[in-house]
Each structure stands twice: as C-alpha cells, then as structure tokens.
Amino acid sequence: MEALLRSDPGAPLTVNQQVVAGAGAGVAVAILATPTELMADVAKDLTAGIIGGAAQLIVGHPFDTIKVKLQSQPVPPPGQLPRYSGAIDAVKQTIAAEGPRCSMKCLC
C-alpha cells in the first residue's frame, strides 16, 4: 500500500476491487466499485486465465511428453546404448514413429 500511495498526487489507484483516492496528509478514502465494474473485472480475469492456461498447455505439453519419455526409458544392459541419446533424439524418434502431431495426442 505504501508504494501505491507514492503515485501521482490526485490520481486514482486500483487496489483489490477498490478505488483509493488521496484525501491529503497521508489519509486515503476507499470507495467500493459498482457491481457492474466487479463483473467486468471478473469477466476480464476469467478470459485472461483461460487464454493463459490454454497457452501454457499448448506450449508445455510437448516438452512434458519428451521429458516423460526420457525419464521412463529402460536402463540399458551393460555395453548397450540407451533408447534415446538425448532430448533431440527423443523428439526425432517420437515424430518418426508416431507422426508430427504425436505430442498433442492426448489433448484431443
């Protein structure tokens, strides 16, 4: 709150669904937002959360798929190479075996 009060004098500040306006000498007056403003904020937050969650899933899922393949590969017998030599090799082998949409299979 201290950092917010150091803003431009007389400029309204949004804090947890409330508008805070300076009333002089370090005193602040809180005015509650209207229900319409609250619903608009909820809709905006919900939309941002949905878009952010979808982006995280689309970007992160292929990496997680390869990570799981690398972690779950069997330990090779002595003298033999592991199934995947690294992440790039795991990507190449997975795409060759399952096709380019393989990492998004379980999303559909």
Q: Are residues 81 and 98 in the same domain?
A: yes
- Which structural domain, as residue segments, surrounds residue 17? 1-49
Give me the number of domains the chain comprises.
2
pLDDT digits (tens, 9 = 90+) for 34-46: 888 888 899 999 9
Single-letter code of the amino acid located at 65: T
Instruction: Specify whether 62 is located in the same domain as 107.
Output: yes
Q: Are 24 and 62 part of one and the same domain? A: no
Pairing between β-strand 13-15 and β-strand 28-32 as defined by DSSP bridges = unpaired
On whether both 11 and 40 belong to a single domain, the answer is yes
**Nearest C-alpha neighbor of 30 from the set 44, 48, 16:** 16
| pTM of structure | 0.55
Taking the chain (108 residues) in runs of 10, the rounded mean pLDDT of each run is 47 48 49 80 94 93 91 93 94 88 66
